[in-house]
Amino acid sequence: MAHTVGFQLADEAATVKMGNQLAELMEQGAVIYLHGDLGAGKTTLTRGVIQGFGHQGKVKSPTYTLVEPYELATANVYHFDLYRLGDPEELEYMGIRDYFSPTAICVVEWPEKGGEFIPTPDLDITLRYVGEAREIEIKSISPRGDSIVEKISSY
């Protein structure tokens, strides 16, 4: 059963913190789709998720490489940015299916460009501008997503 929650994110720090909370609640792998205009906070939220799994360094958007892998002690996190993808079939050539293992965390910016080459998400997240702040809507798509959204609702 799909659950949806929404929160106001006052600033960049709040967006990173939300990503940290999501990471905390992912007990196994997950596929997360991120939607929003350029600059809406997709990469900032992803930075929070990746840092939530223990990454200490920079988190950059893989706009030109399509994927940035983070093989960490607690999880393998793969950050995809499909904004510049010309044809979804290119994903097949780069071996995209290999990244989506049952225990990997895959965060996908601009998932609509991936077509049928990327799996259905556990969480479908939309970030929107609200003045200087952001609004986040987190929708569960799978039982794994339901579990995460139920827990984040209680924060």
Mean per-residue pLDDT, 81-105: 90
- Decide if 46 contacts 125 (C-beta within 8 A): no
Whether residue 1 has pLDDT greater than 70: no
Residue 31: φ, ψ to 5°: -115, 125
Whether residue 64 has pLDDT greater than 80: no
pLDDT higher for 76 or 132? 76
Whether residue 139 has pLDDT greater than 90: yes
The reported pLDDT for the residue numbered 153 is 67
pLDDT band at 57 (very low <50, low <70, confident <90, very high): confident
The reported pLDDT for the residue numbered 113 is 94
- Which contacts (CB < 8 Å, 24+ apart) does range 35-39 have? 35/111, 35/112, 35/124, 35/125, 35/126, 35/127, 36/126, 36/127, 36/128, 37/128, 37/129
Whether residue 155 has pLDDT greater than 60: no
Domains of the chain (ranges, CATH numbers): 4-153 (3.40.50.300)
pLDDT band at 2 (very low <50, low <70, confident <90, very high): confident
The reported pLDDT for the residue numbered 154 is 59
- Which contacts (CB < 8 Å, 24+ apart) does range 83-90 have? 83/109, 83/110, 83/113, 85/110, 85/113, 85/114, 88/113, 88/114, 88/115, 88/116, 88/117, 89/117, 90/66
